[in-house]
Amino acid sequence: MSKYVLILGGLVSNIGKGTTAAALGRVFKNRGVSVTMQRFDQYLNIDPGTMSPYQHGEVFVTDDGSETSLNIGHYERFLDISMGKNNSITSGKIYSNVINNERLGKYLGSTVQVVPHVTNEIKNTMEMLNTEDNEIVIVEIGGTISDVESGVYYRAIREFINEKGKENVFLIQMDLLPFMPVTRESKIESIQSSVEMLNKFGLFPDAVICRTIKNLKLATDTKKRIATRCFLKGPEYVIQNPDVDTVYEVPVNLKKEGLDEIILNQFGLSYPESDLNSWAFMVENFKGNYPEVRICVVGKYTRVPNAYLSIEEAIKHASTYNQVKPKIEFIDAEDIVEYGPEKLLRGAKGIIVPSGWGKKGFEGMLLSIRYARERKIPFLGIDFGMQLAVIEFARNVLGYATANSIEIDPNTDYPVIDSMVDKKRLIGLNSPMRAGAFDCEIKQNTNIAKLYGNNIVSERHRHKFEFNNKYIEKYELNGMVVIGTNPESGLVEIVECRNHPFFFGTSFIPQFKSRPNRPHPIFLGFINATKSVR
């Protein structure tokens, strides 16, 4: 039977529960514990797939095609394991399942209510990960204790603990511990209040994680007072989690605080001490004093820090490996149209155009791609960015002035980006979107094949439109070549511009598979190319 670690929020949102949960998972994994993660989001959307990145940041896609919270990306990067549909749950999924069950008569005529039907569905969803392969399941409950939607989850958790037994569930409350610079003291009242609110649901945390400012050493006396007022067993159950230079430092800090040992003791589990030496060495590399390279990401949602979170992390992974420090600038594509690429992109060592949908920023991204192509600046077009690279090449090299994607112009004379519906059916897709992991066969002896060290790879997708294969010959005669295709359907996966130091477009989304200790090959090649730009 799996043991469960439940991490709940306090009064303050966005304090890093997802990162902390993932970091704890990393510590367990380094001890040899088989661990997985689960995230509950309280919004009523079935998943984040239809939500604007302005609302909740990027949509992270898993191998099975699930559109999930960006927190699942944290889990994958820290644990280096693949997640799926059972790892990312929303209230929308919970209530949808309950309603579907009612329509199918599964409740045998009962009046369907929040208790027991919704609470049972929450518990059943947590049980999905209760397998022999998962010795510990870390469950993160999104939101804060003051959110009106939280109550049903706390009720379900109380029932879950009663059914599982306290020896099998470890409950953590995480909140901000404010520091008053004037009096130079940490104020514990907000922590105490949030725990008291939790107590009203019949829940008493086994440990409290305090988010603090950087370089603050939490006094033993402060820990004692928090432990006393929050009914903890002792001050060692108060865990300090300070601001850090890189999120990958968090596992090292949690290990120093002894949280993993406390949890294992309650579970009656014994494992060798966690060897985080290699991880700590990697963290020091992330903080290294390296030469700076300016990377410009030109997109639609650049005013939201988390909209391109996985791209930012993939750049950092590859930069650390290449011993450079990335200066990442997110530039709104519409500003490129207003001010011109010469002004906003001058001095860039590399340019990335990422995923997106629709007309917003379309022309600005085309201008950025042309700027990178003509000035020999390393360029990576991802998903929509690849489609735009194909359109830009058609317009300015092939002479197809009105070339377009049918997404943007359904009546274009040159649909170089098309739906390719029949091709998609060859690989078992019933929906118009190609989402999840698909194979890519890369031409041998190409630079990308050398970067991967293999010519058959699996990558994740999330798009509706494809390179129109009927134009391949025309492109290749003029210098843009197809070097990667899906072996089942022939759909184009990678294009490259010849006579350019690094100019690639991928229909897949490589950043989702980048890891801090295992950077993605394409990002490694991209960052390596930026080092040669003068």
Rounded CA-CA distance 129/14 in Å is 26
Omega prior to 116 cis, within 30 of 0:
yes
Nearest Cα neighbor of 63 from 72, 55, 71, 53 is: 72
* pLDDT above 70: residue 424: no
Strand partners, 417: 405, 467
Give pLDDT tens digits for 201-227.
999 999 999 999 998 889 899 999 999
- What's the pLDDT score for residue 421? 66
H or E element at residue 442: strand 434-442
- What Å distances lie between residue 297 and 183, 219, 425, CA to CA? 42, 42, 33
Q: What's phi and psi for 527, nearest 5 deg? A: -65, -40
Among 143, 172, 144, smallest CA distance to 56 is for: 143
pLDDT in tens, 286-336: 999 999 999 999 999 998 879 999 999 999 999 999 999 999 999 999 999
Q: Where are the domain boundaries for CATH 3.40.50.300 in the chain? A: 3-282
Residue 274 has pLDDT above 90, yes or no: no
At 433 the pLDDT is 82
pLDDT at residue 441 greater than cutoff 80: yes
Phi, psi of 290 (to 5 degrees): -110, 165
3-class SS string, 297-321? EEECCCCCHHHHHHHHHHHHHHHHH
pLDDT at 77: 98
Q: Is the model's pLDDT at 423 over the cut of 70? A: no
Give me the residue label for tokens 């993605």.
Answer: 520
Rounded to an integer, what is the distance from CA 526 to the centroid of its chain? 20
Distance of CA 323 to the CA centre of its chain: 24
Give 426's pLDDT tier (boundaries 50, 70, 90): low
What is the structure's pLDDT at 430? 60
What's the rounded mean pLDDT across residues 57-75?
A: 95
Does 53 have pLDDT greater than 80? yes
pLDDT of residue 213: 93
Q: At what angle do helices 362-374 and 384-393 cross, to 10 degrees?
A: 70
Q: 252-266, 273-287, 509-523: which has the minimum mean pLDDT?
A: 273-287
Helices and strands (H, E) in the chain, number of each type: 20, 23
pLDDT at 239: 98
pLDDT of residue 184: 84
Closest listed residue to residue 170, CA positions, set 62, 28, 312, 48: 28
Give the mean model confidence (pLDDT) for residues 491-500.
96
CATH of domain 3-282: 3.40.50.300
Residue 414 has a pLDDT of 97
Nearest to 452 by CA among 371, 354, 524: 524
Instruction: Please give the order of strands across the beta sheet that includes 415-418.
Output: 404-405, 415-418, 466-467
Can you tell me the mean pLDDT for 120-136?
A: 96
Single-letter amino acid, residue 496: E
Per-residue pLDDT band for 258 (boundaries 50, 70, 90) equals very high
Lowest-confidence segment of 169-183, 416-430, 510-524 by average pLDDT: 416-430
Distance CA 186, CA 406 (A): 58
Query: Six-digit token pair at 368?
Result: 């950025």
Q: Where do you find CATH 3.40.50.880 in the chain?
A: 288-530
- Take residue 225 and report the two structure tokens written for it: 């007072």
Give the percent of the chain with pLDDT over 90. Answer: 88
Nearest residue to 30 via CA among 278, 267, 229:
278
CA 383 to chain centre: 16
What are the φ/ψ torsions at residue 429 (nearest 5 degrees)? -95, 120
Identify the band that residue 50 occupies on the pLDDT scale cut at 50, 70 and 90.
Answer: confident
Average pLDDT in the 186-210 region? 95
CB 145, CB 8: distance < 8 Å: yes
Mean pLDDT in residue range 82-104: 96
Q: How far apart are CA 226 and CA 228, in angstroms?
A: 5
3-state secondary structure 2-27: CEEEEEEECCCCCCCHHHHHHHHHHH
The confidence score (pLDDT) of residue 364 equals: 97
Phi, psi values for residue 407, rounded to 5°: -65, -40
Strand pairing of 35-41 and 136-141? parallel
Res. 55 pLDDT band, cuts 50 70 90 = confident
Is pLDDT at 427 greater than 70 in this prediction? no
pLDDT at 303 (0 to 100): 87
CATH of domain 288-530: 3.40.50.880
Query: In this structure, are residues 58 and 298 in contact, taking their beta carbons and an 8 Å threshold?
Result: no
pLDDT at 401 over 80: yes
With 80 as the cut, is the pLDDT of residue 339 above it? yes
373 — pLDDT class (breaks 50, 70, 90): very high
Q: What is the pLDDT of residue 122?
A: 98
Q: Write out the DSSP string of 311-378.
A: HHHHHHHHHHHTT-EEEEEEEEHHHHHHH-HHHHSTT-SEEEE----SSTTHHHHHHHHHHHHHTT--
CA-closest candidate to residue 521, choices 454, 463, 462, 467: 454
Q: Is 264 helix (H, G, I), strand (E, B) or coil?
A: helix
DSSP letter for each residue of 370-405? HHHHHTT--EEEETHHHHHHHHHHIIIII--TT-EE
* 181 confidence band (pLDDT: 50, 70, 90): confident
User: What tokens does 462 get?
Assistant: 């999330």
State the chain's mean pLDDT as an integer.
Answer: 94
Burial call 464-500: b when 16+ CB within 10 Å, e when fewer: bbbbbbebbeebeeebbbbbbbbeebbbbbbbbbeeb
pLDDT band at residue 180 using 50, 70 and 90 as cut-offs? confident
The helix (run of H) or strand (run of E) holding residue 176 is strand 169-176
**Segment 341-370, tens digit of pLDDT:** 999 999 999 999 999 888 889 999 999 999
Cα–Cα nearest to 310, from 419, 383, 224, 209: 383
| Distance between CA atoms of residues 191 and 12, nearest Å | 10
Nearest partner of 136 among 165, 166, 168, judged by Cα: 168
Q: What kind and span of H or E run contains 208?
A: strand 207-212
Name the pLDDT band for 173 (thresholds 50, 70, 90): very high
Q: Kindly tell me if the per-residue pLDDT of 385 is higher than 80.
A: yes
pLDDT at 6: 98
CA distances from 238 to 225, 254, 270 (A): 10, 11, 22
